[in-house]
Amino acid sequence: MMKYSNQSRILVSIDCVVFGFDGENYKLLLIQRGFEPEKNKWSLMGGFLQPEESLDEAAQRVLHELTGLKNVYMEQLQAFGCPSRDPAERVIGVTYVALIDIKKYEKQISNHFKPKWFMMDDLPELIFDHPQMIELSLKHLRYKAALHPILFELLPEKFTLPQLQILYEGLYGITIDKRNFSRKVLSTGIIKKEVEKDKTKSKKGAYYYTLVKENYQAQFQRILNFIPKNDIPPGIETESKVQLAYSEISDN
């Protein structure tokens, strides 16, 4: 087999950033690293690319081996290539990010490597450059949620407006005025009011809504209106600027 001469071999690792929503809070899935360096410290799910697999295949394998999760949609985000990022040897880290409904996947979780969900505001100390990977992944999700109604995928088929509002407030770390939020989300036409009510929180109850799938893609650009202007991610003031910023982060 022909090989390039006089070239150093460099390892490639796959690091999976898996955010989850449990109905009330956003969390991050972590494991305790099983080998040196930094053995037993908290880490993203990571493993090395094998010669016979693609990056996407490696990401699915690594996530399944370490957590038991499978068939999770993950997006490749960015490569981290600082020469000193891993003290053992030169390793290029390729980050994949996912956002899942914790309740939907909780039965798949394996305890072999003791994966654990952590609240986003109470993360433990992490190895290497994993905090930077998490920060960039969260920024990516905030950009994407401002452009596409991806958060609806975390909701049950029938949901209430308070449930939807919790999703946006939790992701952006903000408080949104209830009346303005209701008015803006209803104006998009992507949800439909049902007859039934959820009375688990109060006697009066809150009406259920369902997603109008035929309007889902056609109206996705109006999702940015859900977020108060003062709370739109820094540097984004108009929808066109959001699209530009998201294109730039996707191209990296």
Q: Taking all residues of the chain, what is their mean pLDDT, rounded to a whole number?
A: 86
Count of structural domains, the chain: 2
Q: 3 in a domain, yes or no?
A: no
Is the model more confident about 235 or about 175? Answer: 175
Asked if residue 140 and residue 21 are part of one domain, the reply reads: yes
Q: Which of 148-157, 228-237, 242-251 has the lowest mean pLDDT?
A: 242-251
CATH of the domain at 219: 1.10.10.10
Phi, psi angles (nearest 5°) of residue 237: -120, -25
Q: Final residue of a domain: which of 145, 160, 176?
A: 145
Q: Which of 17-21, 124-128, 142-146 has the lowest mean pLDDT?
A: 142-146
CATH of the domain at 118: 3.90.79.10
pLDDT tens column, 39-76: 999 999 999 999 999 999 999 999 999 999 999 999 99
pLDDT tens column, 66-114: 999 999 999 999 999 999 999 999 999 999 999 999 999 999 999 888 8
Asked if residue 194 and residue 131 are part of one domain, the reply reads: no
Asked if residue 164 and residue 106 are part of one domain, the reply reads: no
Asked if residue 219 and residue 179 are part of one domain, the reply reads: yes
Asked if residue 206 and residue 92 are part of one domain, the reply reads: no
The answer, yes or no, to whether the previous bond of 37 is cis (omega within 30 of 0) is yes
Q: 93 in a domain, yes or no?
A: yes
Burial 117-134 (b: 16+ CB within 10 A, else e): beeeeeeeebbbbbebbb
In the predicted structure, residue 11 carries a pLDDT above the cut 50 = yes
Q: 184 in a domain, yes or no?
A: yes
Q: Say if CB 76 and CB 250 are below 8 A apart.
A: no
Length of the chain: 252
Q: 18 in a domain, yes or no?
A: yes
In the predicted structure, residue 18 carries a pLDDT above the cut 90 = yes
- How far is it, in rounded angstroms, from Cα 241 to Cα 251? 15
Q: Which of 68-77, 109-118, 169-178, 212-221 has the lowest mean pLDDT?
A: 212-221
Q: Final residue of a domain: which of 128, 145, 162?
A: 145
Q: 211 in a domain, yes or no?
A: yes
Asked if residue 158 and residue 42 are part of one domain, the reply reads: no
pLDDT tens column, 151-165: 888 998 899 999 999
Q: 84 in a domain, yes or no?
A: yes
Taking alpha carbons only, the member of 169, 162, 168 closest to residue 202 is 162
Is the model more confident about 201 or about 241? Answer: 201
The structure's pTM equals 0.85
The whole-number pLDDT of residue 225 equals 65
Q: Final residue of a domain: which of 145, 173, 188?
A: 145
Asked if residue 50 and residue 35 are part of one domain, the reply reads: yes
In the predicted structure, residue 234 carries a pLDDT above the cut 70 = no
The terminus-to-terminus CA distance of the chain in angstroms comes to 33
Asked if residue 190 and residue 99 are part of one domain, the reply reads: no
Q: Which of 52-61, 143-152, 240-249 has the highest mean pLDDT?
A: 52-61
Residues spanned by the domain of 210: 149-251
Q: 5 in a domain, yes or no?
A: no
Strand partners, 97: 17, 75
